[in-house]
Structure formats: C-alpha cells, structure tokens
Structure 1
Amino acid sequence: MTPSGTNLRYLMADTIITTKHREWAKYVIGKAELDKRVAEYNKRFDDMGVERDTHTITMPPVPDKADEQKPLIEVEEISGKGSQGFGYKGFVLTVNDPTKLRLGVPAKRGRGERVRDMAERTGAIAAVNGGGFADPNWNGNGFQPIGVVISQGKVFYNDLGKKSSTNIVGIDKDGKMIAGRYTMQEMLDMNIQEAVTFQPRIIVNGKGLIKNAGDGWGIAPRTAMGQREDGAILFVIIDGRDATHSVGVNLFDVQNILLERGAVIAANLDGGSSTILVKDNVIMNKPSTKSGEGRYLPTAWLVFEHPEQAEIKNIWEGLRPQDIDASTW
C-alpha cells in the first residue's frame, strides 16, 4: 500500500483492462475501483477529442524523374524501452501519399476477415488493423464495428443511434488526417473519405495530449495512426504480451514515438491482439494471438498503388446494427 506499490497495482490493472480478461483487474484494485477507472478513462478519452484540429498539410511536388520519387511506403523497425522500463519491438509504416489509403472491410457477411487475407484479396501492398468492434465475452466474430465506418466517401456502417457524435480516425478526400469527436453531419461536411471510430486522439495541433506514463492506460500491443505536415501518414505498430520478444508500451510511449517523427495529429487504433502489420502479403510483426495470424476484424487500413482499382464493397448494406449477432461464428 506504499505509493510505489499503489502505482504498480494500477499499472497492472490498466494492463489487464486492455486484455480480454478485463474483469480480472478487480482482483488487483477491486470491482468498484475497476468500474471507476474504466469510466474515468472513457471520459478522459472523450474529452481529448474535443479540441478542433487546425493542422494543414502541404504535399511535396512530384519530382520529374522517377528515381527521385519517394517510395509509396517505408517500413522502419523500432525497439527500445518504454517509459515504464519494459522492452518493446515494433514498426513504423510511413505512407508518403495519404490519398493511396483505403479502408478495407470483410468479403463475406457474418464474420470479420484477417488483415493479411484482406490485403491479399484486394491487392493492397501494405495493411494495418483499423477500428474496434463488438466483442461479446471477448470472443466476437469481428463482423460488427463500433461507431461508424466510412469507405470511399460512403457511410458503410453507422450505429450512433441517439449519440450525436463519436471519436473518429480517418482522412478526407485530400488526404488530410481527421481525428477527434465529430457528428455525422460534420463528417459529411468535411468530406471524410475513409474513417473508423476509435479513441483516444493523442496528438492535436502538434502537441501531445497524454501528459505522463501514468495516464498511458497500461502496457499492451499498440497500433496508432498519425500525420506529418508534409501529408505522410505514420502507422505505429508495437508488439506486446511476450516477455521474450516485446512486452508492449503505453499510449504515452506511442505518442512520443509519433512526436519524434514529426506527427502533428495522431490517434489510437484498436490494439491488443488486433495489432498487425502486413507488407507484400507477409505479416511483419508478431501478433499476440495463438495462431500468429491476427484476429478476424471488420476494418483495416489498406495501401494501394492504384486505389481507384480496388474493389471494396459495403458488406453491411441493408443490415441494421440490431440485425447482427457479433457472437455467432
């Protein structure tokens, strides 16, 4: 019950909360404190999406010679120790032209799709997991997203109901990243091209919103998305839950990785066992699933040389959220 012991207990609890065994955190801090902590994080994450982003992007001119052009994607392998002393390994995927991104969705109704399968099926050269999904008993089929899904400028899925707004992570038609809390009308007015619901936003207007490691929401595998002023999109993919490879990081660490690489806006994406990076149909990281293939998911960020040729259909067309059973395989 010393201050250092209390900090350790809360770190353990926050780490457990990010897993499919969230309820186990009650054995560390008690059920009432668990519920209180989750509610506090949700409130804080909501508040972090309120400030309006004012960043602009200036895409560099296309060089005359092909050999002077930057590659569409660059993959940087990273490793180190997080702010709480645990080792991590992962990758930073840089997409130098944000207009080459599309949001992929499953091919068949009734279940999600593994990211590598989605990339191979659509011809994407790289792919990263996207937004969250309904996960009854932490064993969901990956087919029912949470919030909204927008692909190619069209609303594929919307379960906001009476909620007036949601935290989104996406890009507009010009390739500018949009992250924060917005209403559906605001999204339409901003010409959102691709988007999913997730939180928290961790960088806005060039400043980090997570002030210290204690607010970093535990240690886990992480995926996040950011953008530099030159328009390049940065995906951070960090492995976790493996003491011999990579324990993971908190959101404060992810924020710092992105700030160091020039991100002026950034937001968290679904992490944990969903975290995955695929390049040329090869899984680059080590997903924390038994199969090593990642989970079945409703959305993934896909990179195409020619996105206009990608065939991505609205698999939820005609389905209401209440018509979907997220627990049935």
Structure 2
Amino acid sequence: MDTRPRIPTRRSLLAGGAGLLAATGGTGAWAYDRFVRDKVDVADVGAVEAAAGVTDVASTAGAYTADGYTSSTTTITLTTSTSGSGSDALAWYAADVVVTDATVIRSAFSQDEFGQSITELPSRMAADHGAVLAINGDYYGFRDTGIVIRNGVVYRDEGARTGLAMYRDGRIEIYDETATSADALVADGVWTTLSFGPAVLVDGAVPAGVEDVEVDTNIGNHSIQGNQPRTAVGVIGDGHLVLLVVDGRSEGHSRGATLPELGEILLGLGCTQGYNLDGGGSSVMIFDGEIVNQPSNGGERATSDILYVAG
C-alpha cells in the first residue's frame, strides 16, 4: 500500500511565455520549455510537509562562535584552507557538522515550490528557513529525473544515477537510484536524498575513472570535469558529516578542484564517503546569514534548492 503523502499539483506559465514559444519555434521553443519556463508541480511545499507531519525544529538556544555553532543537538566547526598562488591558488571552506537529531539537516526548495526552472537566491532560502548553515543543493529543478525525497516527503521517483541518501537515524549512504524506489527508501527510514554526483570518495578511496563521469546529458550540465568550483557532502560517521565548498575560476584566489581532488580534500578531513553536488557558479556556503566563500559569478547564483542545518 502506498502510504506516502499525497501532493496537490498545479502548472504555471511565465507571463508572455506562449508568445515567446511561438516566436522562437523549433529548438528555441524546446529549450525555453525545458530549461526556462517555470513548471510548478507543488505550489506550497510547506503545507505538504506540515500535512506529512514535518514540524519546525524546536528552539535549542544555540550559540555562534568565531568558527562555529553549538546547540543541544548540533555542533558546527568551520575550517578555511588556502594554498598555492597565481594560477595554482586553491581555497576551500568546510563545515564539520555533528548532530544528535539527523532531521535538523534539511532541504528547502526555492520559493517554497517544487518543479522545474524555479529558482531563488540561496541566502534568501536560508533566511526564510532560519538556517544556521546552508550550501547549495543538487539543482534538482534543472532536470526531470532522479529520486527526490526531501524532509521525509517524496516529490519525484525517477531513478537515473548515483544518489545520496540521508536517513533519520543519522546514516548517510551513496546508492544506486535505479536499483530501488522512493517508497522503498522512505520505508527504510530515508529523510532526504540528493541526486547529482558522482561519488568522489567510496570506502575511503577515490573511485577510479571518477574524472570521466558525466552526470547527465542536459545542456550545459553534462560535463563537470577539470578544475571547477565544487560543492560536496562528506561522511565521517552516523550523524557526522562535512559540507564542503571549493572556490574556482578566480585567478590568484582559487582555480577550483578536479573531482579526484575533491575526494582527496574530503579524505583529508576524515571522511570515508564523499558525494559531489551542483558546482560552478552555484557553489555557495552561508553561515549565520553571511556568504562564507567567494562564488565564481561575483555573487551568489539563484538555484532550485539548498541543504541546510536548522537552528
């Protein structure tokens, strides 16, 4: 029996969208419909989560310090690393996160809606949800595949790639989306999934050939090789993870990292598993309402979702 929450849906068009589609025609019309036009499937994510029994995180009287945050459920320690110079400069930012309640690690969708091509600045999403710490997510809205479970609610069940599953009991596992289903994952205790990849660290080793992996074939998103700004999740143990952002495309500040390098950074931080998220201009870390890193666009880029630690 399907016990997951039933989700009300609606669809929306941008103002003037029909005229633009007619004017562009052919490939232009397809690209507009696929990558630009807002397609809202769930209009009020907050209401859906509330109906599913997802409650706000109780106030824990947390305290910020110069390099982190501590509450009764959460300890966050921030680390910044800079090395090299000129074209070899590299800068990254890591948040070591330990939680006793894994459900304080949450996801938020842009504009509190689920669908495609719906975006919002990560700092706005973080502020709206009272995030202590946030990073950009997997930009789920750029594609129509992948298993999407967020805060215990199933939003999409289209297994396509290697995913990351975060469980209510604090476990975090890399898994094959095509070998399971969203319902099976929820039944097993999964709280949130992320669908991007690839896995850059598996059982304490960087996988062979990881630098050649293509996430999918979407325009502008299939090639993620070379030195790039990066965002990743690393796993140290149950309830113990690392959120990592690597700056890039900035001469003299940071060149970015390859996928193997990303795995090596996580390994050096004590992780045994590591998973790559959306990068490039999307890579951003926000702590206590402030952007910690230097996004490659010169400022944060609107995206479809964030992963955050609730206060």
TM-score normalised by structure 1 residue count: 0.61
Residue equivalent to 2:82: 79
Q: CA deviation at 1:189?
A: 4.1
Q: 2:130 aligns with which of 119, 123, 126?
A: 123
How far does the alpha carbon of each residue in 1:52-76 deviate from its partner, in whole angstroms, 9 at most, with x for none?
xxxxxxxxxxxxxxx9989621110
Residue equivalent to 2:196: 198
Q: CA deviation at 1:176?
A: 0.9
Identity of aligned residues (%): 25
Unaligned runs of 5+ in 2: 1-69, 214-223
Tell me, yes or no, if the aligned pair for 1:103 and 1:195 is still in contact at 8 Å.
no
Tell me, yes or no, if the aligned pair for 1:180 and 1:201 is still in contact at 8 Å.
no
Output the aligned Cα RMSD. Answer: 2.8
Residue equivalent to 1:102: 106
How far does the alpha carbon of each residue in 1:72-126 deviate from its partner, in whole angstroms, 9 at most, with x for none?
21110012259xx822112011111171200111225462121110110110111
Tell me, yes or no, if the aligned pair for 2:152 and 2:191 is still in contact at 8 Å.
yes
Residue equivalent to 2:173: 178
Unaligned runs of 5+ in 1: 1-66, 136-143, 306-329
| DSSP 3-state at the match of 2:131 | coil
- 1:270-281, aligned counterparts within 5 Å? 270-281=278-289
- 1:124-273, aligned counterparts within 5 Å? 124-133=131-140, 135=142, 146-158=145-157, 160=158, 165-182=160-177, 183-184=180-181, 185-210=183-208, 217-229=225-237, 231-273=239-281
Q: CA deviation at 1:229?
A: 2.6
Q: CA deviation at 1:174?
A: 0.7
Tell me, yes or no, if the aligned pair for 1:103 and 1:150 is still in contact at 8 Å.
no
Q: d(CA) in 1 for partners of 2:293 and 2:230?
A: 11
Q: Structure 1 237/68 Cα, relative in aligned 2: closer, same or farther at 3 Å? A: closer
Residue equivalent to 1:91: 93
Q: CA deviation at 1:214?
A: 8.4
| DSSP 3-state at the match of 1:112 | coil
TM-score normalised by structure 2 residue count: 0.64
Tell me, yes or no, if the aligned pair for 1:132 and 1:146 is still in contact at 8 Å.
no
Q: CA deviation at 1:202?
A: 1.5
Residue equivalent to 1:21: none
Q: Structure 1 87/152 Cα, relative in aligned 2: closer, same or farther at 3 Å? A: same
Q: d(CA) in 1 for partners of 2:195 and 2:170?
A: 18
Q: 2:303 aligns with which of 297, 303, 324?
A: 297
The AA in structure 1 aligned to 2:200 is: I
* Larger RCO, structures 1/2 (Cα 8 Å, 6+ apart): 1
Q: d(CA) in 2 for partners of 1:211 and 1:69?
A: 42
| DSSP 3-state at the match of 2:125 | helix
Q: Structure 1 288/89 Cα, relative in aligned 2: closer, same or farther at 3 Å? A: same
Q: Structure 1 134/153 Cα, relative in aligned 2: closer, same or farther at 3 Å? A: closer
| DSSP 3-state at the match of 1:96 | strand
How far does the alpha carbon of each residue in 1:155-184 deviate from its partner, in whole angstroms, 9 at most, with x for none?
1234x2xxx553212311111112231321
| DSSP 3-state at the match of 2:111 | coil
- 1:50-65, aligned counterparts within 5 Å? none
| DSSP 3-state at the match of 1:228 | strand
Q: d(CA) in 2 for partners of 1:236 and 1:201?
A: 14
Q: Structure 1 214/172 Cα, relative in aligned 2: closer, same or farther at 3 Å? A: closer
| DSSP 3-state at the match of 1:111 | coil
Q: d(CA) in 2 for partners of 1:174 and 1:73?
A: 19
Residue equivalent to 1:141: none
How far does the alpha carbon of each residue in 1:33-53 deviate from its partner, in whole angstroms, 9 at most, with x for none?
xxxxxxxxxxxxxxxxxxxxx
